Amino acid sequence: MAIRFFNTLSRQIEEFIPREPGHARLYTCGPTVYNYAHIGNFRAYIFEDLLQRHLEYRGLKVTRVMNLTDVDDKTIRGCRAAGVPLAEFTQPFKNAFFEDLDTLRIKRADHFPEATAANHIERMISMIGTLMEKGHAYRADDGSVYFRIRSFADYGKLAHFNLDELRDGVRVRSDEYEKENVGDFALWKSWDEADGDVGWDSPWGRGRPGWHIECSAMATGILGEELDIHCGGEDNIFPHHEAEIAQTECVTGRPFVRLWMHCKHLQVEGSKMAKSAGNFFTLRDLTEKGWTGREVRYALISVKYREPLNFTFDGLSAARSALQRLDEWMMRLRSLAVGASGEVAVEGAEAFDLALDDDLNISAALGAVFEMIRDTNRRMDAANLTPNEAAYLLRWLEGVNSVLVFGPDVEPVSEEVHQILERRAEARAAKEWKLSDTLRDEILALGWIVKDTKEGQKLSPAAPVAMHH
Ligand code: AMP
Ligand code: ZN
């Protein structure tokens, strides 16, 4: 079956066909590094991670770019308030961001371009130059350069509005008097005092790029003029992505992106996440409360990206128990699979793949996993699942885990195995070698090979399956 996704541009579910067969070029808007990313941001990044991993699971090569916005109003305000240079201000937030990606098991993009890198700034300036030459941009009284939205007939095609309606409906704010149209957005912001020592020289004087042109330049600079997929949270649709389309298509004369995918916003305990509401969480806030990255990832991934996700502490507890069930099931399978001589397929395994092919229907995919757990637990209770079926399920789980990455950080070891290990340590201390060997065999029967090292007994799984990410 084909892989199908909802396209924000067409507002339809479409079959996904990359321009180059077997290779998806993906751009995802990254964090503005003026603060720690919050769990809403991570909902977006985990949705994008699921997308990438599913495409890879289905055999596609994915080249992914995620930018870091390290110059904009917020970062400049932050570095001015802290009294340090911009790069020094943003560096700790960049570092924290990468640590958080690891905690949440998010696969690293192939490229993490930074807006302030010289080659990207150069490309932004060159794109703005082209837009000026073609009449899509103009300089205003304050020296800034704006994009003329009236010059692009398709403006509004992503957010689905008509330019004429927009103009009639919007009141012109007095501080924007210098623009031709209230909807025109800045490509280049001329330097003013609030910018301090942040600025680059350009044909339009000293200044800095607008946020939208940063993404257009980094995306096309690395992935080429036409992308397969561009993602972000729903707040990015307008104006950010609408502006990216306008700028890029006016420069290249070609369609910028085939498939636009946006995830719905995260809510916390039923309302909008806001510092003032006291429901604002970074990942660090949650790990300090004792929740693991694995649990937070599961809670954030478990609702389909196009549905609103209400993040609650009850939801985190539910994630914890679901993962515990998974671990217990794995332990049972491991000890059963020790006696396997091969693999025998178990019915229902392909439901997981098909669910994700269907616009990343994660609820159905997780439903398929937990139905499999329920069914086969019942069969194990009745001593009615064979070792070869258990071996098959462990390998199936490895594939599922390459997409969800919900497995344990370290292989779970049952209480029973721990107790035998203790008895075996005592036996060895008393030089009772025969007893030690018998206990080793008992541990093997439960799915573990035990080795004696200088640091004591070490376990490794007897069935050749690992659940690492
Ligand atoms: P920002 O750092 O604000 O540019 O946002 C980085 C990414 O997180 C963008 O793709 C946003 O659309 C996304 N995002 C921001 N807030 C939320 C939220 N509450 N829920 C989901 N995604 C969000
Ligand atoms: Zn962007």
pLDDT band at 5 (very low <50, low <70, confident <90, very high): very high
State the DSSP H helix or E strand holding residue 229, giving kind and residue range, or none if neither: strand 227-233
Report the C-alpha gap between 442 and 188 in whole angstroms: 71
What are the φ and ψ backbone dihedral angles of 52, each rounded to 5 degrees? -60, -50
**Could you tell me the sign of the dihedral formed by the alpha carbons of 315, 316, 321, 322, in that order?**
positive
Mean pLDDT of 318-322: 98
Q: What is the pTM of this model?
A: 0.93
CA of 409 to the centre of ligand 1 (A): 27
Amino acid found at 276: S
Q: Is the CB of 41 under 6 A from ligand 1?
A: yes
460: exposed, middle or buried (Cβ count in 10 Å: 0-12, 13-18, 19+): exposed
pLDDT per residue as tens digits for the range 234-273: 999 999 999 999 999 999 999 999 999 999 999 999 998 8
Q: Is the CB of 181 under 6 A from ligand 1?
A: no
CA of 222 to the centre of ligand 2 (A): 14
Q: Is the CB of 40 under 6 A from ligand 1?
A: yes
pLDDT per residue as tens digits for the range 192-203: 999 999 999 999
CA of 256 to the centre of ligand 2 (A): 13
Q: Is the CB of 32 under 6 A from ligand 1?
A: yes
Q: Is the CB of 210 under 6 A from ligand 1?
A: no
3-state class of 456 per DSSP? Answer: strand
Q: Is the CB of 67 under 6 A from ligand 1?
A: no
**pLDDT of 312 above 60:** yes
Q: How many residues are given for the chain?
A: 469
Number of the ligand 1 atom closest to the C-alpha atom of 264:
21
Nearest to 71 by CA among 28, 102, 116: 116
Nearest CA to ligand 1 atom 18: 40
Q: Is the CB of 463 under 6 A from ligand 1?
A: no
